[in-house]
Amino acid sequence: MIRLFALACGLLCGIGMEISGLSNPSLLADFLLPAEARDITLGLGLLSALVTASTVLLVARNIGRPLLGGTMEKEAVLAAWKPLAGGLLFGLGWGLAGYFPLAALVALGLFAPGAAIFLASVLAGMILHDVAANGGKLNIEGIRSRG
């Protein structure tokens, strides 16, 4: 049931991304560092998502546990520099490629070839991090199913 619901949310999000056009890689440059007129599409789309999500979550504030069972996923406790450095690296990559992973998946749904290149590189970057963090070894045991 959880999987089915996650699939439905994925569909909803993917359709929302496609309607808004937020998966377009050129939007970030047009918003942050425009060559000509500024295009506020990206900021407006993210703001709309934030306001909607906040409203729905605010109305349902007293739900302590997920309605379909299981536990609420929490942010991991990290050293303060990690979100900072991670965010910076994420942003550097985002600015260079124009895609973020969710947008690339949506673009992949439209069979954009660059999105596949990008997602493969993201996976490679993640593996690179895991190998470096693990003293040069890929931790296969970490891969386990929890459904």
Give the nearest distance from C-beta 68 to other proteins in angstroms: 5
Q: Which of 36, 37, 62, 75 binds other proteins (CB under 8 A)?
A: 75
Give the nearest distance from C-beta 134 to other proteins in angstroms: 10
142: DSSP letter: G
Structure tokens at 60: 């349902």
Residues numbered 20 to 59 that lie near other proteins (CB under 8 A) are: 20-26, 28-29, 32-33, 35, 40-41, 44-54, 56-57
Per CB under 8 A, does 84 bind other proteins? yes
Per CB under 8 A, does 131 bind other proteins? no
DSSP string, 94-141: HHHHS--HHHHHHHHHTT-HHHHHHHHHHHHHHHHHHHHHTTT---GG
87 membership: H or E segment, kind and range: helix 81-97
